[in-house]
Structure 1
Amino acid sequence: MSNDPYDILGVSKDASQDEIKKAYRRLAKSLHPDLHPDDPGKQAEFQAVSAAYDLLRDAEKRRRFDAGEIDASGQERPQPHYYHHYASENEGRRYDGGPRYEGFSGGFGRGTEDMSDLYSELFGRRARGGGTTHQEFHRRGPDLRYHLSVDFLDAVRGAKRTVTMPDGRSIELTVPAGVSDGQVLRLRGKGGPGNGDGPPGDAFVTIAVKPHPVFSRDGDNIEMELPITVDEAVLGHKVDVPTVSGPVSMTIPEGASSGQRLRLKGKGVQRRNGSGDQMVRLKIVLPKKIDDEMRRLAERWRKASDFDPRADLRRMT
């Protein structure tokens, strides 16, 4: 697989941010580890897609990658360095037993420069005569990337997790309340160690939220479908409704219909600057077996009522 993020996502270099986002979502959905639990190849592809999107979704990182300043992993590319040697008033003499320099003002010069000395300087170490002066090569450590699947309720409420990074280290991770599917968490300083005095890199953890059998999410709102009986719909009733923070009591209004949506204010995703709501969609459910009493009630009501639930539908068509 190419390590070019554009190739990985299957987009052109002039693709818009919206096109990049759509390509990522399409690939992430088909390569999700939950769909391929025993396929390391698919999991590796998923991580590559996540890493590519993490780089291209950031406008500054994308600009720097396009300019050749960083590589596909977000690391700084070595830039060309030009060394300028300046002759002293004692030009042409030997200093400390070191190589003899003919006078020149800049660039790589015209004289008898020792090439091994030049290469040592390029890589951060310069040898001079009988003694050696060490100049360490300082570089920031590499970033590490990881994929973490979390349960729906843990994503909504927040949780603590231990993550094993690609290099085998284990780190403690706080999954913040309200984290969304595909969100990338940045753990500063938890990446690979740097060279010399260079700082460590960062760890990037892509979150995959597992679906829940009851709840779904729309932004900071939680949605669910609530089954109710015919008599609860007709007469109204107070019932217990599950929420992401525990059951609450809710009143079904008299004359409720299937598809009607009721709001539980403040029972969605909790955030510091406010909370979402829980939207409850009603669904009238009949028993699997209709008994004689229910049948008689329905027959009497049909004979006595002229209600037509499809009248508006006919007018519109």
Structure 2
Amino acid sequence: MRDPYQVLGVAKAATQAEVKKAFRKLAKQHHPDQNPTDPKAKEKFAEINAAYEIVGDDKKRAQFDRGEIDAEGKPRHPGFEGFEGFAQGAGPGGFRRGPGGGGQHFEFNFGGGGAGFEAADIFADLFGGARGGRPGAGAGRQAREPGADIALEAAIPLETALRGGKARVLMPSGRTLEVDVPAGMEEGKQIRLRGQGQPSPSGGPAGDALVTVRFEKHGLFKIEGRDLRLDLPITLYEAVLGAKVETPTLSGKVELTLPAHSNSGRTLRLRGKGLPAAGGQPAGDLLVTLRIVLPDGADSELEELARRMRSDKPYDPRSELKK
């Protein structure tokens, strides 16, 4: 894998906020759902996620900068490549030829330990074998480090946020997972999928997938925090005379009472008909803005009424703009 800084297009001195911003931009740009005709989109998306797993994590970023892990998050063990760091013959940390004709058998001698670790521990991690050395030595090192968490996003309809349901997320590997979204989900909140993150490099448990929820754009409603906004078309006579008008909400249609003489642009509030909130907080409201719509085509009677009003009862709705 390429250098994670290069993958994300950030400098080595970039702040975590800059790293996160770069990741979000690239993840959105290269998400396979946004590039259905690009066969390399999944591969690019996976590379971006893997790079963020290193640079986006303070601990792993420091380890990578110090050369302790590689671009895939795997530990680097200096001196183990081809066993160059071991000389033949007895001695601490080395190995010697064992007895038995031809010298094809080797015994490892781990001596009295090293600078903060024992070679036996590393061999056990690398090869999955039993630990050598002294009985009981290094017992506290038996725990395996868990794999890294991965950051994902799931876009859900507003109706799913209200009632709960399922969402699908694309993993860096290219496979798709189905996520249970609880009712009352708020935008920006995370859902943790245990064991769905990166595998452990040392045989420990896999990391988790942290799925951040985003709301899809809705055909009717605009989002303002927990409130929703709706433009509601009404007739001229409903505006003048008042009426009861069927109005859509996330939870179904309701009957909205229009006061007589309602101007276009007037906003009526339906309390509790916005987005839900967690922790016992009240739900948002639905803000309904009235938009007067004239009938299609010419209407001689309406035009005659307008001429009489202009002649007998003129008024200036823009007087406030002239002050």
Q: Output the TM-score relative to the length of structure 2.
A: 0.66
Could you tell me which amino acid in structure 2 is paired with residue 303 of structure 1? S
State how 1:142-291 maps to structure 2 within 5 Å: 142-143=148-149, 148-161=154-167, 165=171, 172-176=178-182, 177-180=184-187, 184-191=190-197, 194=200, 198-273=204-279, 274=281, 275-291=283-299
State how 1:1-317 maps to structure 2 within 5 Å: 2=2, 4=4, 7-13=6-12, 15=14, 23=22, 26-27=25-26, 30-31=29-30, 33-42=32-41, 44-45=43-44, 77=75, 107=114, 120=123, 123=126, 125=129, 126-127=131-132, 138-143=144-149, 148-161=154-167, 165=171, 172-176=178-182, 177-180=184-187, 184-191=190-197, 194=200, 198-273=204-279, 274=281, 275-315=283-323
SS of structure 1 residue aligned to 2:232: strand
Q: 1:142 to 1:230 in 2, by over 3 A?
A: same
Q: 1:119 to 1:267 in 2, by over 3 A?
A: closer
Q: 1:197 to 1:117 in 2, by over 3 A?
A: closer
SS of structure 2 residue aligned to 1:232: helix
Question: Is the 2:239–2:261 Cα contact (8 Å) retained in structure 1?
Answer: yes
CA distance in 1, matches of 2:199, 2:190: 21
Query: How much does 1:266 deviate?
Result: 0.7
SS of structure 2 residue aligned to 1:233: helix
Q: 1:281 to 1:70 in 2, by over 3 A?
A: farther
CA distance in 2, matches of 1:180, 1:76: 34
Q: 1:117 to 1:222 in 2, by over 3 A?
A: closer
Q: Which residue of 2 is the match for residue 112 of structure 1?
A: none
Query: How much does 1:28 deviate?
Result: 5.4
CA distance in 1, matches of 2:76, 2:249: 53
Identity of aligned residues (%): 40
SS of structure 2 residue aligned to 1:271: coil
Could you tell me which amino acid in structure 1 is paired with residue 270 of structure 2? L
Higher alpha-carbon deviation: 229-238 or 61-70: 61-70
CA distance in 1, matches of 2:54, 2:120: 38
**Per-residue CA distance 1:37-86 (angstroms, 9 max, x = gap):** 3224345545655676787777777777767787777x575688xxxx79
CA distance in 1, matches of 2:173, 2:31: 22
SS of structure 1 residue aligned to 2:123: helix
Query: How much does 1:189 deviate?
Result: 2.4
Q: RMSD of aligned C-alpha atoms? A: 4.6
CA distance in 2, matches of 1:64, 1:218: 41
Paired positions, count: 287
SS of structure 2 residue aligned to 1:223: strand
CA distance in 2, matches of 1:11, 1:171: 30
**Per-residue CA distance 1:168-206 (angstroms, 9 max, x = gap):** 77755212333427x653212233555776222212335
Higher alpha-carbon deviation: 189-198 or 269-278: 189-198
Question: Is the 2:42–2:172 Cα contact (8 Å) retained in structure 1?
Answer: no
SS of structure 2 residue aligned to 1:201: coil
Which segments of 5 or more consecutive residues in structure 2 lack a partner in the other structure?
A: 79-91, 99-105, 134-140
SS of structure 1 residue aligned to 2:40: helix
**Per-residue CA distance 1:130-175 (angstroms, 9 max, x = gap):** xxxxx97834245456554433422343212466745577755212
Question: Is the 1:237–1:251 Cα contact (8 Å) retained in structure 2?
Answer: yes
Which segments of 5 or more consecutive residues in structure 1 lack a partner in the other structure?
A: 87-93, 109-115, 129-134
Q: 1:15 to 1:139 in 2, by over 3 A?
A: closer
